[in-house]
Amino acid sequence: MPGLRKAVEDSNDPFETAVRISLCGNIIDHGILEEFDIEELIGQEIDRDIDLDRIMEMKKRISDSRNLSFIADNAGEIGLDSLMLDEFIRVNPELKITVFVRSIPLINDATIDDAKFYGLDAKYDIIEYPDHVGFLVGDMPVNVKTVIDGSNTTGFQRTCVIAMNGLIKVGEKKIPIQHASLEEDAARKTGDEDKGKVIHYRIDRLGIPLIEIATAPVIHSPKEAQEVALAIGKILRDTGKVMRGLGTIRQDLNISIPNGALVEIKGVQELDLVSRVVEFEVQRQINLIEIAKELRRRGLKKENITADFVDVTHVFKQTKCKVIQKALKNNQEVKAVKLPGFKGLLNWELMLNFRLGTEMADRARFWGRVGGIFHTDELPAYGVTAKEVAELKSAVGSEEEDAVVFVADVSENIADALNAVVLRSQEAISGVPAETRATNTDGTTRYMRPRPGAARMYPETDIPPSLITNDLVAKVRLKLPELSEEKFARLVNQYCLNKKLAKQVLDSDYGDLFETIAERSAVSATLIAVFLTETLKSLRREGIQIENVKDDLIMEIFSCLGSGDIAKEALTELFVWLSENIDKSLNDAINALNLKMFSKAELEKIVDNVISENKKLISQLKEKAYGRMMGIVMKKVRGKADPGIVGEILRELLK
């Protein structure tokens, strides 16, 4: 090794020499079949013709990278590889290298001992991987999977089909369920830096199981789409096995109309938004079809729209437009493209506050990384003058019936953005492009990405299929949860709730907690239900962080109420205090709010004092005095006494 290291150091190109020596390691495995002189072999390899362009490309990629995973092969080869890894670090001192070795040698595999022998453990991270041939990804240690399973961190999702060809009934209509699948959630890219060398991902959802349910294309109205989504959501909630809350259930809507296109709309989180999203998308497609008719009426063909970009920076040298001013100050450019026959069409409203020009701007932002576009249908405006518009049109050779789109940015971004505009303009002649769109909070949508094709789907290569047997299905059937309709009837009958309150409990996040409290405490089921639904809903509207009070603490509150340690009038006050003091106990809340219950003797004294202070009023009111006195006493003891006990004492003392 010292001789080889010196050969690398003394060569004209140490990087190339180290790579050549590493390549020799691939021949070592042939030693089991024939004898050869390793030193002679290395000498021959160093002088052998090689694709130098590939080595230069490799060197550039190493210099641009931040992390490298290196999977070692055999015990001898790892020594030769160590010379190359050292050169990688010389070229890029910031490079972080992780070397993977076997936990035991299956034949002559490199192990942790070999890595230590060549000193790799002192320079790089060393990770051991499974000790058998052809290991499955699922068998990997977590640290190995985290580093080398790029499929997860780049957004790939594994999908396991659980069931096919089912159906649900919505109203009187049967809705086929094409498949129900189990997916693992993927990491999400949140941005990059240093020209894409460093990519940031969120991994907080990595591996979380998702259920995907696909309906057949038999839904024909916005209202029906929302009803089907509600029905599926209810079934999922009935299982008690899915998360709840905003974002945990998302609807992906595939929408098409005659002469339109299949458009996938991703991530509708609010159920009430489903019908609105469908309505807007239908409206968008209808308008795009009308625009296509108008373009064809004007005689436009795709070949009329070309990617001929014109530098119009000179037109805006003295502009008052702040966006363009900022771009020019940063030594950026302004370039424009002519859209023949498009005058007036970029301002055509496709859906609420969304025009064809907006759609082109979305494409430009996505593909060109620009802030947006300008177009002549909306000018003069934004500080762009009529004079500048006239000069712009002249510069690009625009006729009266044409529109012009222009962008201010760096040259590469401008080219990508305007190419996207040209493509979208060509698509406008055909009508509605098939694409994937994302949902906005108002129910409108925006361009997200092209629609993926079937080529992105392929069979799982790491995990073998698991057979779902009839026995398993039978066992699952025995454990199926109570359906919401059945639970609703039981809440009404078992707990004597009215239908409105039973539905509120069913639709709340506290259904199971309600039953637990009702069974374990002596408190009225109606009082429990009202507090867990109406009272907590009202507190949330007031900005109270109700999630700060955990279920076990809510149970303790009702337990104290049932045993007479607190009054029902104190429930809300105690809950609010506990939500604001999350590290405190119920006793802390009672003491801090001075809500300890009065004893009977204390209540008798308070009631007696009230009667003594109001003898004249009692004499005047006679039999009506009870109600007035009760109000006065409860005002003094509210939250610290049971009204029933107060009433008994008052009646006794009024005799």
Spatial CA neighbour of 557 closest among 545, 536, 574, 534: 574
Average pLDDT over residues 81-105: 87
Question: 2-148: which CATH topology?
Answer: Rossmann fold (3.40.50)
**Lowest-confidence pick of 159-173, 192-206, 535-549:** 192-206
- 114-128, 306-320, 340-354, range with the lowest pLDDT: 114-128
- Percent of the chain having pLDDT more than 70? 88
Compute the average pLDDT of residues 331-351: 97
Average pLDDT over residues 405-434: 95
pLDDT in tens, 48-76: 777 777 788 788 888 888 888 888 877 77
The number of angstroms, rounded, from the C-alpha of 571 to the middle of its chain's C-alpha atoms is: 37
- Whether the predicted pLDDT of 360 surpasses 60: yes
Per-residue model confidence (pLDDT) at position 478: 92
- Decide whether 2-148 matches 299-429 in CATH topology: no
Q: DSSP string spanning 520-554?
A: HS-S-HHHHHHIIIIIHHHHHHTT--GGGS-HHHH
Pick from 55, 64, 71: nearest CA to 17: 55
pLDDT at 152: 46
Instruction: Say if residue 435's pLDDT is above 90.
Output: yes
Q: Which helix (H) or strand (E) holds 476?
A: helix 470-478
Residue with tokens 């500048």: 388
The whole-number average pLDDT for the span 344-367 is: 96
pLDDT band (50, 70, 90) for residue 16: confident
Separation of alpha carbons 630 and 307, rounded Å: 85
Tokens read off for 6:
């010196």
pLDDT-derived band at 488, boundaries 50, 70, 90 = very high
432 vs 447: CA distance, rounded Å: 13
Whether the per-residue pLDDT at 340 is higher than 80: the answer is: yes
SS3 169: strand
Instruction: Report d(CA 526, CA 514) in Å as an integer.
Output: 10
Residue from 264, 156, 136 nearest 201 by CA: 156
pLDDT at res. 130: 61
DSSP state of 481: P
Indicate whether 35 pLDDT > 70: no
Mean pLDDT lowest for which of 163-172, 185-194, 613-622?
Answer: 185-194
Predicted local confidence at residue 209, as pLDDT: 79
Q: Is the dihedral of CA 426, 428, 430, 436 positive or negative?
A: positive
Question: Residue 332 pLDDT > 50, yes or no?
Answer: yes
- Region 178-188 average pLDDT: 80
The most confident of 130-134, 140-144, 393-397, by mean pLDDT? 393-397
Q: Using one digit for the tens of pLDDT, what is the confidence trace for 231-267?
A: 998 888 888 888 766 567 789 999 999 999 999 999 8
Low-confidence winner among 405-419, 543-557, 594-608 (lowest mean pLDDT): 594-608
Whether the per-residue pLDDT at 96 is higher than 80: the answer is yes
Residues contacting residue 71 through CB under 8 Å, at least 6 positions apart: 99, 100, 148
Domain ranges of the chain: 2-148, 299-429, 484-592, 600-654
Residue in 498, 551, 556 with CA at minimum distance from that of residue 523: 556
Q: Identify the CATH homologous superfamily for domain 299-429.
A: GAD-like domain (3.30.1360.30)
Distance (Å, whole) CA 288 – CA 355: 10
- Mean pLDDT, the chain, integer: 87
pLDDT (average), residues 150-166: 69
- Which range (484-488, 513-517, 542-546, 565-569) has the least confidence? 565-569
Sign of the dihedral through C-alpha 47, 48, 54, 58 = negative
Average pLDDT of span 315-325: 96
What does pTM read for this prediction?
Answer: 0.64
Task: Identify the band that residue 357 occupies on the pLDDT scale cut at 50, 70 and 90.
Answer: very high
Closest to 115 (Cα-Cα) out of 107, 106, 125: 125
Q: What is the pLDDT of residue 642?
A: 79
3-state secondary structure of 164: strand
* Interval 108-128: pLDDT, tens: 778 888 888 888 888 988 888
Q: Which of 115-129, 306-320, 500-514 has the lowest mean pLDDT?
A: 115-129
Per-residue pLDDT band for 413 (boundaries 50, 70, 90) equals: very high
Estimate the share of the chain in helix, then strand, then coil, as percent rounded to the nearest 5.
Answer: 50, 15, 30
